Structure 1
């Protein structure tokens, strides 16, 4: 079993799909943002506010190197910009969870903890800028991905089943 690395825009459902994948497979799961918060002993929002994005990306790079060298048989959920790590293909099979921007925002707004979901994502504070970022990143996500799973109007359970089926075929 090779690692599976979930990429996609913030709020697309990487965490939800990851939880479903581990229910239906032998994978364990980890999240790069959780690892960073643990390493730094502070929230990502705070890291961005105090240190800035450049510092955050340096920590991401450190996490990417550790994942490549030390982690096996794991489903790894990543932050929205993690796909830029130069060694990402060495970490595992890259699975893009894909959905149109408006659907991602709608999904977050409909979540019972919507306010908290928006608050914890510094780059979603300005939806116009977030849309520009989405438009910039989506073609890059598609270039990096080994597998694409369209999550639009699908449950996390259905996305997890599709993801496992597609990865198995590789």
Structure 2
């Protein structure tokens, strides 16, 4: 991997965190998960941040994270929150890889408890509507679209070849 960051975007459940960890196993680059860092900095879960302060507050935190990475971090793997590409300039952080997975496949990855932990995934119909809305944003800001319906090894290999 060169000095460019690898930025992983995609809908909730598309595999961003899993692929980030797999890439780390291969090249030992620093992995930064925006949701985890925001939760740690705020001392609250994403669900609690949404509940206490609202979505706009959370999106502002995401954009601050994005700006910090763009100006201070190189050669890292960045796993973003699902909505970050709609509100922040993710391209400023590095090469953007959209992990594309059909909604039905994403749905099959979550149990009821996992869905409950995701504020925007409380209802399947509204989650599908959100998915469809976000698709065009993901595609427009991605340098590369990766088919996430393949093995972890195949996905990581494809990303590494494009970096």
TM band (smaller chain): over 0.9
Q: How does 1:131-150 map to 2 (within 5 A)?
A: 131-150=128-147
Cα contact 2:62–2:88 (8 A) shared by 1: no
Cα contact 1:7–1:14 (8 A) shared by 2: yes
Instruction: Give the match's secondary structure for 1:24.
Output: helix
Q: Deviations 1:67-110 (Å, cap 9, x if unpaired)?
A: 1111111000000011134432121000000011111111x14x
Cα contact 1:64–1:85 (8 A) shared by 2: no
Q: Unaligned regions of 5+ residues in structure 2, if any?
A: none
Name the counterpart of 1:151.
148
Name the counterpart of 1:119.
116
Distance 1:47 1:85 in 2: 17
Name the counterpart of 1:164.
160
Q: TM-score if structure 2 supplies the norm length?
A: 0.93
Q: TM-score if structure 1 supplies the norm length?
A: 0.89
Cα contact 2:86–2:134 (8 A) shared by 1: no
Name the counterpart of 1:91.
93
Cα contact 1:68–1:87 (8 A) shared by 2: no
Cα contact 1:5–1:75 (8 A) shared by 2: yes
Name the counterpart of 1:53.
55
**Compared with structure 1, are the counterparts of its residues 68 and 85 closer, same or farther at alpha carbon in structure 2 (3 Å cutoff)?**
farther
Number of residues of Structure 1 aligned to a counterpart in Structure 2: 161
CA RMSD in angstroms, aligned pairs only: 1.3
Q: Unaligned regions of 5+ residues in structure 1, if any?
A: none
Name the counterpart of 2:46.
44
Instruction: Give the match's secondary structure for 1:83.
Output: helix
Decide which moves more: 3-12 or 26-35. 26-35
Shift of 1:39: 1.2
